[in-house]
Amino acid sequence: MAEPTRTGRIAGEARAAWIERLDSPIRGAAQGPLAGLRFAAKDNIDVAGVPTTAGCPAFAYRPETHATVVGRLLAAGAELLGKTNLDQFACGLNGTRSPYGAVPNAFDPAYISGGSSSGSAYAVATGQVDFALGTDTAGSGRVPAGLNNIVGLKPSRGLVSAHGVVPAAQSVDCVSIFAPTVALATRVLTQAMGPDPRDPYSRRLRLANAPFPRDFRFGVPDRLDFFGDLLAAAAFAAAVERLRALGGTPVTIAYAPLAQAAALLYESALVADRHAAIRGFFDAHPEEVIEPVRSIIGAGRRYSATDYAQAQTHLRALGQAAAAMWDSIDVLLVPTAPTHYTIAQMQADPVALNRNLGAYTNFVNLLDYAALSVPSSLRRDGLPFGITLVGPCGSDLQLAELGQRYHHATGLAQGATGQPLPAPQDIPGLQPAATVRVAVVGAHLSGMPLNGQLTERGATLLAQAETAPDYKLFALPGTTPPKPGLLRVAPGTGHRIALEVWEMPLQHYGSFVALIPPPLGIATLQLADGSQVQGFACEALATADAADISHHGSWRAYMASLRPA
């Protein structure tokens, strides 16, 4: 069939971003959680009555029904504006492999947009739509986000149905979401997700519904290659420091198993999945497929079933080796893309440079992880740099919570629009982490010797306070470091004693209490304002030979009194 008509420039924006922009948008339900929002779909995702080309005019067909994900979003009230350009058959990470033209970067048209979901990312970054659908097999829902200063949410495999999506490698494909903010991407996810018996790889997944710990640990690869791009290297180093500032602790992880798994996607019999996805069309019409897509897909024909079985076993072995990193980290941090190429550079060396772009993305779906790409900075040359947070399957909402905090800490605008980020929003489906308040009166106070037992468990100082006037404070003899004992006494015989109230994640409270030596323990303390809190108390017997220091009003004042004048 003839190439579909594309709309011309819209407010000076690239024609190549759209394969078909509809004259009459497809309206969603009159009411719903996404009502008033406009979206676009990558043109390997079916929209009823609109040709699906997958970036190949000779392949085009006109579906009678919507892809499941499109139907769900329309039912939620969103309005569909059209179909966006892509690397042909979703085979590429650069956005130049399309007969409909190379999609430029939203910040500098000489540079690539990233692919394969190139048009979807450009449409979001330039504000033409509120969000867009892409697909992600090897990074196609993340690389264009990172290169265009927007969010790219790659769900856990099978969380969003791929029924009605032209496969790239069906066993690892995901429908992805592009949006200017994490909150919007997650809002769309909650409407799009859910099992679908029409998708053989759909599954019911229980998503973790508590945030990562406040003192989260993030993995950083032990080897990083930015392919000579010093600006990208500096941007990633700054990202590590920003995550530190958000409460994270970097942990070096072995990247070799991840890199070896990534290599299998194109350098083993696993590439046969690419051929299987469009076998009937490809074998009958190879001349209709552009290079280098033709060579990549065609390579899948040379492998045997035995080769494929061996590759799958090798992948499982690498997955076992890689899984060890989750024992020491909560989330993995990687560059979304290690560098940024011009369109001319990419077209001059399309295979090697495309491989470079996937250095930190190719392994994710193969190893069944979730991932979220968020903007990180604008480099000195004005080009965006993004980071990707990777977590185990089912960590989608946890990644969203951390990703939103990270994104808002950058101070960046939304995409290329210049519009500031809106206020952060609650992540749908995510419950606040359970915490417990604990009052401390002595060696655990801020700046005191044992305060680290609180901070290393992610505890944060809530308030300075005082007990009700029914307590006495004693200096316990023979304790190292010196410790006081707080004892409740009869009304009218005590004092108000200064203390600090800390908030600690409940998951760490047990290990903290286990450190408390006798005669100390935890009891319910009455505060001066009438409230109650768990806090340190002492057995009455232990105070018999202890000095009563209640008149000082606090342990800190008592310790200061011991210093030489």
What average pLDDT does range 364-378 have in this prediction? 98
Query: How far from the centroid of its chain's Cα atoms is residue 428's Cα?
Result: 15
The 10 Å CB-count burial string (b at 16+, else e) for 254-283 is ebebbbbbbbbbbebbbbbbbbbbbeebbe
pLDDT of residue 5: 39
Nearest CA to 355 among 104, 138, 113?
138
Token pair listed for 407: 């994104």
Same domain, 161 and 277: yes
The tokens for 477 are: 């003899």
Q: What is the CATH number of the domain that holds 183?
A: 3.90.1300.10
Using pLDDT thresholds of 50, 70 and 90, give the confidence band for residue 505: confident
Average pLDDT over residues 126-153: 98
Do residue 275 and residue 414 come from a single domain?
Answer: yes
> Do 236 and 351 share a domain, yes or no?
yes
Q: State how far the Cα of 125 lies from the Cα of 106, in Å rounded to an integer.
A: 6
Q: Are residues 336 and 468 in the same domain?
A: no
Q: Which of 418, 450, 478 is the last residue of a domain?
A: 418
Angle, to 10 degrees, between the axis of helix 396-410 and the axis of helix 230-245?
Answer: 110
- pLDDT at 8 (0 to 100): 35
Instruction: Using pLDDT thresholds of 50, 70 and 90, give the confidence band for residue 182.
Output: very high
Give 296-335 pLDDT, tens digit per residue.
999 999 999 999 999 999 999 999 999 999 999 999 999 9
Q: Which residue has the higher pLDDT, 265 or 126?
A: 126
Tell me the residue type at 390: V
Least confident piece of the model among 28-32, 113-117, 183-187, 263-267: 263-267
pLDDT on residue 514: 95
Mean pLDDT of 147-164: 98
Question: Which residues are within 8 A (CB) of 530 and not within 5 positions of it... i.e. 6 or more apart?
Answer: 468
Instruction: Let me know if residue 409 belongs to a domain.
Output: yes
Contact residues for 172 (Cβ-Cβ < 8 A; gap 6+): 137, 157, 273, 365, 366
Any domain includes 9: no
* Mean pLDDT across 512-538: 95
pLDDT of 417 > 60? The answer is yes
Q: Is the pLDDT at 539 greater than 70, yes or no? A: yes
Here the CATH number for the domain that contains residue 537 is: 3.10.490.10
Assess whether 446 and 395 both reside in one domain: no
Q: What is the DSSP string of 88-156?
A: GGG--SSS---TT-PPBPSS-TTBB--SSSHHHHHHHHTTSSSEEEEEESSSTTTHHHHHTTSEEEEPP
In a domain, 371, yes or no: yes
Q: Are residues 353 and 455 in the same domain?
A: no
Q: If you average pLDDT over residues 452-469, what whole number do you get?
A: 93
Q: How far apart are CA 86 and CA 53, in angstroms?
A: 10
Q: How large is the average pLDDT for residues 174-196? A: 98
Give the Cα separation of 242 and 406 in Å (integer): 8
pLDDT beyond 70 at 36:
yes
Query: Does 10 fall in a domain?
Result: no
Same domain, residue pair 445 and 374: no
Q: Is 485 found in the same domain as 379? A: no
- If asked whether residues 406 and 455 sit together in one domain, one would say no
* Residue 69 forms part of a structural domain: yes
CB proximity list for 24: less than 8 A, separation 6 or greater: none
User: What's the pLDDT score for residue 564?
Assistant: 87
The pLDDT value recorded for residue 11 is 40
Residue 427 lies in a domain: no
Distances (CA, A) of 386 to 20, 133, 144, 334: 28, 19, 10, 9
135 domain residue, yes or no: yes
The one-letter amino acid code at 315 reads L
392 and 525 assigned to the same domain: no
> What percentage of residues in the chain have a pLDDT greater than 70?
98
Where would I find the beta strands (DSSP E) of 238-394? Answer: 249-253, 331-335, 369-378, 384-392
8 A C-beta contact, residue 373 and residue 336 = yes
From CA 81, how far away is CA 14, in angstroms rounded? Answer: 16
Identify the CA nearest to 436 among candidates 488, 497, 510.
Answer: 510
Q: Which residue has the higher pLDDT, 534 or 12?
A: 534
What average pLDDT does the segment 197-201 reach?
A: 97
Domain span holding position 442: 435-561
Same domain, 407 and 480: no
The values of phi and psi at residue 168, to 5°, are -105, -50
Tell me what pLDDT residue 57 has: 97
Rounded Cα–Cα distance for residues 280 and 271 (Å): 16
Full-model pTM: 0.81
Query: Are 365 and 157 spatial neighbours (Cβ–Cβ below 8 Å)?
Result: yes
Q: Let me know if 197 is exposed, middle or buried by CB neighbors in 10 A (0-12, 13-18, 19+).
A: exposed
Section 198-205 average pLDDT = 97
Strand residue runs (E) in 398-556:
413-414, 419-420, 435-440, 460-466, 471-476, 483-488, 498-505, 520-526, 532-538, 547-548
- Among the three residues 363, 385, 418, which one is the final residue of a domain in this structure? 418
What pLDDT does 44 receive? 98
- Known catalytic residues are 42, 116, 140
Hey, what are 405's tokens?
């905090």
Domain boundary among 387, 418, 449: 418
Q: Is residue 259 part of a domain?
A: yes
Measure Cα distances from 32 to 79, 133, 186, 191, 403 in Å.
11, 19, 16, 10, 26
> What DSSP letter does each residue of 188-245 carry, written as one string?
HHHHHBS--TTSTT--------SPPPTT-EEEEES----TT-HHHHHHHHHHHHHHHH
- Parallel/antiparallel/unpaired status of strands 435-440 and 532-538: parallel
Tokens 């029924």 identify what position?
Answer: 163
* 147, 386 contact by CB (below 8 A): yes
- Checking if the pLDDT of 434 tops 90, the result is no
Quick count: other Cβ atoms within 10 Å of Cβ 479?
17
Q: Which pLDDT score, from 0 to 100, does residue 13 have?
A: 67
**What DSSP string runs through 166-204?**
--SSTTT-EEEEEESSHHHHHHHHHHHBS--TTSTT---
The amino acid present at 333, given as its one-letter code, is L
Q: Are 145 and 125 in contact (CB under 8 A)?
A: no
- Rounded mean pLDDT of the chain? 95
Is there a contact between 442 and 487 (Cβ–Cβ < 8 Å)? no
Q: How many domains does the chain have?
A: 2
Task: Tell me: do 401 and 504 sit in the same domain.
Answer: no
Mean pLDDT along residues 162-191 = 98
